[in-house]
Amino acid sequence: MTAATAPRIDIASPTHRADLVGRGLAALASLATGVAFVNGVLMTLNANDDRLFIEGWRVSSFGIFAALFALLAVRPRQAAGVWEIVLVGKAALVVFGALIGDVPEARVSAIIDFGLVAVVAAAYVLCRGWLAWRRATTNPTR
Protein backbone atom coordinates (compact mmCIF):
# COMPACT_ATOMS: atom_id res chain seq x y z
CA MET A 1 0.00 0.00 0.00
CA THR A 2 1.23 3.42 -0.81
CA ALA A 3 0.46 6.56 1.12
CA ALA A 4 -2.03 7.50 -1.58
CA THR A 5 -4.01 4.27 -1.23
CA ALA A 6 -3.72 3.77 2.53
CA PRO A 7 -7.04 4.03 4.38
CA ARG A 8 -7.49 7.24 6.33
CA ILE A 9 -7.49 6.62 10.07
CA ASP A 10 -9.06 9.23 12.31
CA ILE A 11 -6.76 9.22 15.35
CA ALA A 12 -9.31 11.30 17.25
CA SER A 13 -11.91 8.52 17.22
CA PRO A 14 -11.96 6.07 20.13
CA THR A 15 -10.97 2.47 19.66
CA HIS A 16 -13.84 0.04 19.29
CA ARG A 17 -13.15 -1.46 22.72
CA ALA A 18 -12.93 1.95 24.45
CA ASP A 19 -16.16 2.99 22.74
CA LEU A 20 -17.97 -0.15 23.92
CA VAL A 21 -16.71 0.21 27.48
CA GLY A 22 -17.62 3.91 27.56
CA ARG A 23 -21.09 3.22 26.19
CA GLY A 24 -21.47 0.43 28.74
CA LEU A 25 -20.58 2.82 31.56
CA ALA A 26 -23.13 5.36 30.29
CA ALA A 27 -25.72 2.59 30.10
CA LEU A 28 -24.81 1.52 33.65
CA ALA A 29 -25.34 5.11 34.82
CA SER A 30 -28.73 5.12 33.07
CA LEU A 31 -29.73 1.83 34.66
CA ALA A 32 -28.64 2.91 38.15
CA THR A 33 -30.51 6.18 37.79
CA GLY A 34 -33.53 4.26 36.51
CA VAL A 35 -33.48 2.20 39.71
CA ALA A 36 -33.37 5.45 41.70
CA PHE A 37 -36.34 6.66 39.63
CA VAL A 38 -38.40 3.57 40.54
CA ASN A 39 -37.43 3.92 44.20
CA GLY A 40 -38.33 7.60 44.04
CA VAL A 41 -41.76 6.80 42.65
CA LEU A 42 -42.37 4.47 45.60
CA MET A 43 -41.15 7.14 48.03
CA THR A 44 -43.43 9.71 46.40
CA LEU A 45 -46.43 7.44 46.71
CA ASN A 46 -45.75 7.11 50.43
CA ALA A 47 -44.68 10.71 51.06
CA ASN A 48 -46.41 13.01 53.51
CA ASP A 49 -48.16 16.02 52.03
CA ASP A 50 -45.34 18.35 53.12
CA ARG A 51 -42.78 16.25 51.16
CA LEU A 52 -44.92 15.40 48.14
CA PHE A 53 -43.73 18.17 45.83
CA ILE A 54 -40.02 17.78 46.60
CA GLU A 55 -40.23 13.99 46.14
CA GLY A 56 -42.01 14.48 42.81
CA TRP A 57 -39.36 16.96 41.74
CA ARG A 58 -36.61 14.52 42.68
CA VAL A 59 -38.31 11.69 40.77
CA SER A 60 -38.60 13.82 37.64
CA SER A 61 -34.88 14.65 37.91
CA PHE A 62 -34.02 10.95 38.16
CA GLY A 63 -36.08 10.31 35.03
CA ILE A 64 -34.41 13.13 33.12
CA PHE A 65 -30.90 12.02 34.10
CA ALA A 66 -31.66 8.37 33.28
CA ALA A 67 -32.82 9.45 29.83
CA LEU A 68 -29.76 11.68 29.30
CA PHE A 69 -27.39 8.86 30.29
CA ALA A 70 -29.23 6.52 27.89
CA LEU A 71 -28.91 9.11 25.11
CA LEU A 72 -25.17 9.29 25.75
CA ALA A 73 -24.87 5.50 25.66
CA VAL A 74 -26.62 5.34 22.30
CA ARG A 75 -25.16 8.47 20.66
CA PRO A 76 -22.02 9.47 22.55
CA ARG A 77 -20.59 11.71 19.83
CA GLN A 78 -23.82 13.19 18.57
CA ALA A 79 -25.01 14.98 21.71
CA ALA A 80 -22.92 18.13 21.91
CA GLY A 81 -23.11 19.61 25.39
CA VAL A 82 -25.03 16.77 27.01
CA TRP A 83 -21.91 15.16 28.52
CA GLU A 84 -20.83 18.46 29.98
CA ILE A 85 -24.30 19.31 31.31
CA VAL A 86 -24.70 16.00 33.16
CA LEU A 87 -21.15 16.14 34.53
CA VAL A 88 -21.53 19.69 35.82
CA GLY A 89 -25.02 18.96 37.20
CA LYS A 90 -23.93 15.88 39.11
CA ALA A 91 -20.67 17.49 40.28
CA ALA A 92 -22.66 20.45 41.61
CA LEU A 93 -24.80 18.06 43.65
CA VAL A 94 -21.66 16.43 45.08
CA VAL A 95 -20.26 19.82 46.10
CA PHE A 96 -23.59 20.94 47.55
CA GLY A 97 -23.96 17.68 49.48
CA ALA A 98 -20.47 18.10 50.92
CA LEU A 99 -21.07 21.74 51.87
CA ILE A 100 -24.37 21.39 53.71
CA GLY A 101 -22.87 19.17 56.36
CA ASP A 102 -24.47 16.49 58.43
CA VAL A 103 -27.75 15.95 56.58
CA PRO A 104 -28.41 12.21 56.20
CA GLU A 105 -30.01 12.38 52.75
CA ALA A 106 -27.35 14.75 51.45
CA ARG A 107 -24.41 12.62 52.54
CA VAL A 108 -25.70 9.43 50.91
CA SER A 109 -26.79 11.27 47.76
CA ALA A 110 -23.43 13.05 47.46
CA ILE A 111 -21.57 9.73 47.68
CA ILE A 112 -23.81 8.16 45.02
CA ASP A 113 -23.52 11.20 42.77
CA PHE A 114 -19.73 11.18 43.21
CA GLY A 115 -19.76 7.61 41.89
CA LEU A 116 -21.90 8.71 38.95
CA VAL A 117 -19.52 11.58 38.19
CA ALA A 118 -16.59 9.14 38.14
CA VAL A 119 -18.44 6.66 35.89
CA VAL A 120 -19.69 9.34 33.49
CA ALA A 121 -16.30 11.08 33.36
CA ALA A 122 -14.67 7.75 32.46
CA ALA A 123 -17.32 7.15 29.78
CA TYR A 124 -16.74 10.68 28.42
CA VAL A 125 -13.01 10.02 28.05
CA LEU A 126 -13.44 6.50 26.64
CA CYS A 127 -16.10 7.57 24.12
CA ARG A 128 -14.31 10.86 23.43
CA GLY A 129 -17.54 12.72 24.05
CA TRP A 130 -15.93 16.05 23.17
CA LEU A 131 -15.98 14.95 19.51
CA ALA A 132 -19.70 15.73 19.49
CA TRP A 133 -18.67 19.37 19.11
CA ARG A 134 -17.06 18.77 15.70
CA ARG A 135 -18.89 20.45 12.85
CA ALA A 136 -19.03 17.43 10.57
CA THR A 137 -18.00 13.85 10.87
CA THR A 138 -17.59 11.12 8.32
CA ASN A 139 -18.68 8.37 10.66
CA PRO A 140 -20.97 9.73 13.43
CA THR A 141 -21.64 6.36 15.04
CA ARG A 142 -17.96 5.62 15.70
Amino acid, single-letter form, for residue 35: V
What gap in Å lies between CA 17 and CA 140, rounded to an integer? 17
pTM for the complete prediction? 0.84
pLDDT tens, 74-120?
999 998 999 999 999 999 999 999 999 788 888 889 999 999 999 99
State the pLDDT at residue 6.
Answer: 53
pLDDT tens, 14-58?
999 999 999 999 999 999 999 999 999 999 999 999 999 999 999
> Within 13 A of 97's CA, how many CA atoms are on the CB side?
17
Amino acid, single-letter form, for residue 27: A
Contact 116, 90 (CB under 8 A): yes
User: Does residue 137 surpass a pLDDT of 60?
Assistant: no
State the pLDDT at residue 104.
Answer: 80
Residue from 17, 26, 8 nearest 129 by CA = 26
